Amino acid sequence: MSSPLRLAILGCGTVGSEVVRLLHEQSADLAARIGAPLEIAGIAVRRLGRDRGDLPVAPELFTTDAVGLVKSDDVDVVVEVVGGIEPARSWLVDALRAGKSVVTANKALLAEDGASLHDAAADGGADLYYEAAVAGAIPLLRPLRESLHGDRINRVTGIVNGTTNFILSAMDATGAGFAEALEEATELGYAEADPTADVEGFDAAAKAAILASLAFHTRVGAADVHREGITEVTAADMASAKAMGCTIKLLCIAARGTDAAGRESVSVRVHPAMIPLSHPLASVGDAYNAVFVEAEAAGPLMFYGRGAGGAATASAVLGDVVAVCRNRLAGVRAPSESAYADLAVRPMGEALTRYHVSLDVADKPGVLAAVAGVFARHDVSIATVRQAPAGTEPAGRGADAVLVIVTHTAPDAALAATVEDLRGLDAVRSIASVLRVEGGE
């Protein structure tokens, strides 16, 4: 057995406390798997006085001096489970440049400025591992960055935010209110420190950027991702989806395609979408995540598991700790970032999507023709149209009837322009719901 490897743990909240607990409970197994025991050199936190329950760790290991801990000569591995951009970025860049291995769960930082971390890792000849940053416990990034490196990935579609999946599942199953479901997700440790990151789609967009970068060998940042959250999904939308034999999920979609000039490019987006109940993602409930990867030779692959929560995420962190420690002992490092393809990210307007539009209309001759004319003017083909009497659908007040239209795929800009024009049509009293339907490019 080699001499101990020393870990600096930055953060001891929902995830960090479980990392500390697992390091303690599994110390003998971890040492045997790595070939060296692990020792905690220190744990950086914001509040020294915070009650940390019965955490099995000596109180003198806690410090508020994260910088000092990261710079300490007797630290081999830095585990960052604090979150946010600064000061986490400075700590990790310093650690990597100094040749320390880094394990982080910080998707916000990786999506905002992954380049700084990858460059620092290359400069310092150090390992940068971040399995926990996307889809919690699910082994997903290592398959993308290692197992599938001999294949060509064409599309990644997934539910990658546990909090919003918890909320939408509750709204669907029990009709629970948005606020009530969010409060429960926060109590269960799923939500980010600021849950706006979850419900407005920022967290899923960060994960989409990381997934797209790995899948397409291209640097994709948070700003490249089209993002819509779930705050505008209403009970009426959910009822519309149910009436169609569907449910609503916040999807992350990263797809290869061609841009308007015919060049190969990628589309990366996060938005709520209707999916049929027969779709495998429809049954992904609670805070679970699931990701479909469609690869040219491998075909479809599905990854499923707990996407959030302290213990689940700590499992992924510990897996990375074992990997970087083995690499240190073997004197090797993981292959560096693969971003050679340098593909452009297409604007959302060029993405091929499908819409489900529910309109409250006057029940009189010519209405259907007028509505269909708007779709035709934008070169949007209608797949199905259904008319229901008012009251049988979640229609607005004053409507005589409800028209439910589902389109074929079309550029998102054409679909959005169609909806805008429908608003101005005399026969349309109001637009009860507009949702994208999974099954575009």
Ligand X SMILES: NC(=O)C1=CN([C@@H]2O[C@H](COP(=O)(O)OP(=O)(O)OC[C@H]3O[C@@H](n4cnc5c(N)ncnc54)[C@H](OP(=O)(O)O)[C@@H]3O)[C@@H](O)[C@H]2O)C=CC1
Binding partner of residue 163 among ligand LTNE7NMQ, ligand X, none, CB cut-off 5 to 8 Å per kind? ligand LTNE7NMQ
**Cα 171 to Cα 250: distance, rounded to the nearest angstrom:** 13
Contact 375, 381 (CB under 8 A): yes
- Residue 110, binding choice from ligand X, ligand LTNE7NMQ, none, Cβ under 5 to 8 Å by partner class: none
User: Beta 62-63 vs 38-44: how paired, if at all?
Assistant: parallel
Tokens of 217: 């060998």
The entry of ligand X, ligand LTNE7NMQ, none near residue 50 (CB within 5 to 8 angstroms by kind) is ligand X
Residue 71 is assigned to a ligand binding site: no
Residue 14 marked as a ligand binder: yes
Residues 389-418 that bind ligand X (CB under 6 A): none
CA distance 360 to 404: 9
Residue among 121 and 191 whose Cβ is closer to ligand X: 191
Work out which of 19, 55, 75, 106 binds ligand X, going by CB under 6 A: 106
- In degrees and rounded to multiples of 5, residue 159 shows phi and psi of -105, 110
C-alpha atoms less than 13 angstroms from C-alpha of 258 in its C-beta half-sphere: 4
**Residues within the interface to ligand LTNE7NMQ (CB under 6 A):** 136, 161-163, 190-192, 198, 203, 307-308
What is the distance in angstroms between the CA of the first residue and the CA of the last residue of the chain? 52
Nearer to ligand LTNE7NMQ, 42 or 158 (CB): 158
In sequence order, the 6+-apart residues with CB closer than 8 A to the CB of 303 are: 135, 138, 139, 140, 143, 158, 290, 291, 293
| 45 lies in the binding site for ligand X (CB under 6 A) | yes
Per DSSP, 299 falls in state E
Q: How far is the CB of 14 from ligand LTNE7NMQ (least distance, A)?
A: 9
Number of C-beta neighbours around residue 93 at 10 A: 20
Q: Is 249 annotated as a binding residue?
A: no
CB of 257 closer than 8 Å to CB of 265 = yes
Residue 19 C-beta: closest distance to ligand X, Å:
9
Helix (H, G, I), strand (E, B) or coil at 334: coil
Q: Considering the complex, what minimum distance in angstroms separates the CB of residue 339 from ligand X?
A: 22
Among 129, 130, 166, 190, binds ligand X (CB under 6 A): 190
107 annotated among ligand-binding-site residues: yes
Is 201 a binding residue for ligand X by CB under 6 A? The answer is no
Among 9, 15, 273, 281, binds ligand X (CB under 6 A): 15
Q: Give the nearer residue to ligand LTNE7NMQ in terms of CB position, either 127 or 198.
A: 198
198 makes contact, choosing from ligand X, ligand LTNE7NMQ, none, with CB < 5 to 8 Å by partner type, with ligand LTNE7NMQ
What does the DSSP assignment read for 251-280? EEEEEEEE-TTS-EEEEEEEEEEEEETTSG
Quick check: 189 binds ligand X (CB under 6 A)?
yes
> Is position 47 an interface residue for ligand X (rule: CB under 6 A)?
yes
Whose CB is nearest to ligand X? 13
The answer to whether 50 contacts ligand X (rule: CB under 6 A) is: yes
Rounded to whole angstroms, the Cα distance separating 208 from 158 reads: 9
Write down the number of H helices and E strands in the chain. Answer: 14, 18
Angstrom CA distances, 209 to 28, 76, 77, 108, 352, stand at 37, 29, 26, 10, 19
Stretch that binds ligand X, among 186-194, 211-219, 361-369, 413-421 (CB under 6 A): 186-194
Q: Residue 165 or residue 418: which is nearer to ligand LTNE7NMQ going by CB?
A: 165
Residue window 291-310: x/- pattern of binding to ligand X, with contact defined by CB under 6 A: -----------------xx-
- Report whether 13 belongs to an annotated binding site: yes
| Residue 46 is a binding residue for ligand X (CB under 6 A) | yes
Q: Residue 24: helix, strand or coil by DSSP?
A: helix
Nearer to ligand LTNE7NMQ, 306 or 346 (CB): 306
Q: How many Å is the Cα radius of gyration of the chain?
A: 24
The residues assigned a catalytic role are 207
Look up residue 350 and give its DSSP letter.
Answer: G
- Is 167 an interacting residue with respect to ligand X (CB under 6 A)? no
Residue 237: how many other CB atoms lie within 10 Å? 22
192 appears as a binding residue in the annotation: yes
84: left (phi over 0), alpha (psi -120 to 50) or beta: left
Report whether 248 contacts 172 (CB < 8 A): yes
Question: Is residue 313 part of the contact set for ligand X (CB under 6 A)?
Answer: yes
* 83 in contact with ligand X (CB under 6 A): yes
Minimum separation from the CB atom of position 205 to ligand X (A): 13
Task: Return the structure tokens found at 72.
Answer: 């300490």
Residue ranges for the known binding site for NADPH are 107
Residues that bind ligand X (CB under 6 A): 11-16, 44-47, 50, 66, 81-83, 87, 105-107, 132, 136, 189-190, 192-193, 308-309, 313
Residue ranges for the known binding site are 10-17, 107, 192
